[in-house]
Structure 1
C-alpha cells in the first residue's frame, strides 16, 4: 500500500490549517480518517497509516474527518469539519447530484438531494446524465435550474470523457467529492469514465484498505462509503415510512420475492397502479428513494433497507391494531 502522501494529496486546506496550534505544528501529527470499521478507525498521515480504537471519551467521527494525534499516534482532538453528513462522512467539498435524463428524471428527488447537501454545508453540482439519449435536454435542465438561481447544472454523457470536461473545475488536486444518485442514474458509469486515463502514472490510488477514499487521476479525492450510498435510506423517518406503508404491504403479494416492480408478471404494485388503487408517481418516488445504488442485478437489502422494511411493517401492524380497537 502506497503511504507516500502529502497533506495536500489527502485534501488538506487552509480552513484546517487555521485550527492548528504551535504545538500541533511542531510536535504533533495531522491525520485523516480513511476507514471506519466497527470500533476502529484507520487513519493516514504523511508518515503512513495507523489505527485508533474508538473510546467513549472520543467524539463521533466519520470517514473524511481530520484529527490531531501525538507522535505515538494517540488521539488528541478532532478538527472542526468544513462540511458534515452526520455520522456518515465529513469534509466533502462538492457533491455531484446525479439524475438521468430519461423516464427516471425526478425533480423532487433532486430537490431532496439538494436539501441534504446544503444541510451538510457542502457545495452541490447537479449532473444530468444520458443527455445523448434525451430529446428535451434544455427543458429538463431549465426545470432544475429553477430550483436555485445559483445552482450549477451540467448535462453529460457519462460514457464520454470529452463530455465530462465540464466537471474539471471541481476535480482539482486535494478537493474531496462524493456522489448521490438513484438507481440507474449513471453514477458508476460517471466514476468509471473519470477514473480512466492513458497516463499510467496517474491511475486511481486507494487511501487505506477499504477504498473509501480514492485519489482520482485528476488529483481529486473520491469519498465513497456504504453509508454515503445509503444516505437517503437513513433519512427516512416514521412519517415518511407511514406514507409508503401501503406500497410496502403490497410487495408481499408479488408473485416473485425479488420483484423490482418494473413490469414483471404478477407484480401486485403494478396491478394496483393499473386499477387506480395507488398513484403511479408515488410508486416511482418510493422506488427511487428506497434504492440508493443499483450496480448489482440482484435485489438485495442492505442494513438500512432492512431497517426501513421492519419499521414499515411495524407501522402497518400498529395501524391494524388501532383499527381493531
Structure 2
C-alpha cells in the first residue's frame, strides 16, 4: 500500500492551516481520518498510517476529518471541519448530485439532495446523466437551473469520456468530492469513467485499506463510504408523519397492494389527484419518501421508511380513536 502522500494530496487547505498553533507546526502531526472500523480510526499523515482507538473523552469524528496528534500518535484535538454530513463524512468540498435523464428524473429528489448538501455546508453540482438517451435533456436541465441561478448543472453521458470533460475544472488536485444519487442514476458508471480518463497514465490510489478515500488520476479525492452511499433523505419527524398519514390511508384503497401509483389501474392516489382532492406535488413528495433508494423491480423500505409506515399507521389509529370518542 502506497504510504507516500503530501498534505495537499490528502486535501489540506488554508482553512485548516489557519487553525494550527505554533506547537502544531513545530512538534505535532497533522492527520486525516481515512476509515473507521468498530472503535478504531485509521489515519494518514505525510509519514504514513496509524490507528487511534475511540475513547469517551474524544469528540465524534467521521471519515474526512482532520486531527492533530503528537509524535507518539496520541490524539490531541480535532480541527473544525469545512463541511459535515453528521456522523458520516466531513470536509467534502463538492458533492455531485446525480440524476438520470430518463423516467427516473425527479426534480423533488434533486431539491432534497440540494438541501442536504447545503445544510452540510458543501458545494453542490447537479450532474444529469444518460443525456444520450433523452430527447428533452435541455428542458429538464432548465428545470433544474431554475432551482438556483448560481447552481452548476451539467448534462453528460457517464460512459463517454469526452462528455465528462466539463467536470475537469471541478476535479482539481486536493479537492474532496462525493456523489449522491438514487440507485440507477449512473454513479458507478461516472466514477469508473472519471477514474480512467481524468489524466492519462496516472492511476488512482487508495488512501488506506478501506478505499473510502481515493486519489483520482486528476488529483482530486473521492470520498466514497457506505454511509454516503446509503444516506437516507427521509428523516421523519412527527409533523411529517402526521402530514402523510392520510396518504397512507388512501394508499390502502388501491386495487393492488404493491401499487406504486405510477399509472396502475385502480390507483386510489392517482384518482384523488385527477379529482383535485390532493395536490400532485404533495403526492410526488410522498412517493419520494416512500420509494427512495428502491430498485427497479421492487419497492424496498429502509429502516427510516419502516419507521415512517409504523408511525403513520399509529397516527391513523389514534385519529380514528379520537373521532370515536
User: Common fold, TM-score beyond 0.5?
Assistant: yes
State whether residues 245 and 313 of structure 1, in contact with CA within 8 Å, keep that contact through their aligned partners in structure 2.
Answer: no
State whether residues 168 and 198 of structure 2, in contact with CA within 8 Å, keep that contact through their aligned partners in structure 1.
Answer: no
Q: Which residue of 1 aligns with 2:307?
A: 310
Deviations 1:43-64 (A, max 9, x none): 1111222221222221111111
Deviations 1:151-201 (A, max 9, x none): 111111111110000000111111100111123222122112112249785
Q: Which residue of 2 aligns with 1:324?
A: 321
Shift of 1:35: 1.2
Shift of 1:91: 0.6
**SS of the counterpart of 2:63?**
coil
Q: Which residue of 1 aligns with 2:163?
A: 163
Q: Which residue of 2 aligns with 1:236?
A: 236
**SS of the counterpart of 1:231?**
coil
Shift of 1:125: 0.9
Shift of 1:126: 1.0
| 242-251 vs 88-97, greater mean Cα deviation | 242-251
Q: Which residue of 2 aligns with 1:204?
A: 204
Q: What is the CA RMSD across the aligned residues, in angstroms?
A: 3.1
Matched, 1:23 2:23: yes
State whether residues 171 and 220 of structure 1, in contact with CA within 8 Å, keep that contact through their aligned partners in structure 2.
Answer: yes
State whether residues 93 and 122 of structure 1, in contact with CA within 8 Å, keep that contact through their aligned partners in structure 2.
Answer: yes
TM-score, length basis structure 2: 0.84
State whether residues 260 and 299 of structure 1, in contact with CA within 8 Å, keep that contact through their aligned partners in structure 2.
Answer: no
Q: Which residue of 2 aligns with 1:71?
A: 71
Distance 1:261 1:54, change over 3 A: same
Instruction: Give the gaps of 5 or more residues in structure 1.
Output: none
**SS of the counterpart of 2:210?**
coil
Distance 1:18 1:4, change over 3 A: same
Q: Which residue of 1 aligns with 2:268?
A: 272
Instruction: Give the gaps of 5 or more residues in structure 2.
Output: none
TM-score, length basis structure 1: 0.84
State whether residues 28 and 69 of structure 1, in contact with CA within 8 Å, keep that contact through their aligned partners in structure 2.
Answer: yes
Distance 1:163 1:293, change over 3 A: farther
Q: Which residue of 1 aligns with 2:39?
A: 39
State whether residues 229 and 293 of structure 1, in contact with CA within 8 Å, keep that contact through their aligned partners in structure 2.
Answer: no
| 213-222 vs 272-281, greater mean Cα deviation | 272-281
State whether residues 35 and 43 of structure 1, in contact with CA within 8 Å, keep that contact through their aligned partners in structure 2.
Answer: yes
State whether residues 31 and 69 of structure 1, in contact with CA within 8 Å, keep that contact through their aligned partners in structure 2.
Answer: yes
Distance 1:236 1:211, change over 3 A: farther
Q: Which residue of 2 aligns with 1:139?
A: 139
State whether residues 182 and 288 of structure 1, in contact with CA within 8 Å, keep that contact through their aligned partners in structure 2.
Answer: no
Deviations 1:206-249 (A, max 9, x none): 22222221111211111112222233335333333444456667
Distance 1:293 1:168, change over 3 A: farther
Distance 1:200 1:248, change over 3 A: farther
How far apart, CA to CA, are the structure 2 residues paired with 1:262 and 1:3?
52
Q: Which residue of 1 aligns with 2:127?
A: 127
How far apart, CA to CA, are the structure 2 residues paired with 1:33 and 1:207?
10
State whether residues 183 and 291 of structure 1, in contact with CA within 8 Å, keep that contact through their aligned partners in structure 2.
Answer: no
How far apart, CA to CA, are the structure 2 residues paired with 1:6 and 1:92?
18
State whether residues 108 and 288 of structure 2, in contact with CA within 8 Å, keep that contact through their aligned partners in structure 1.
Answer: no
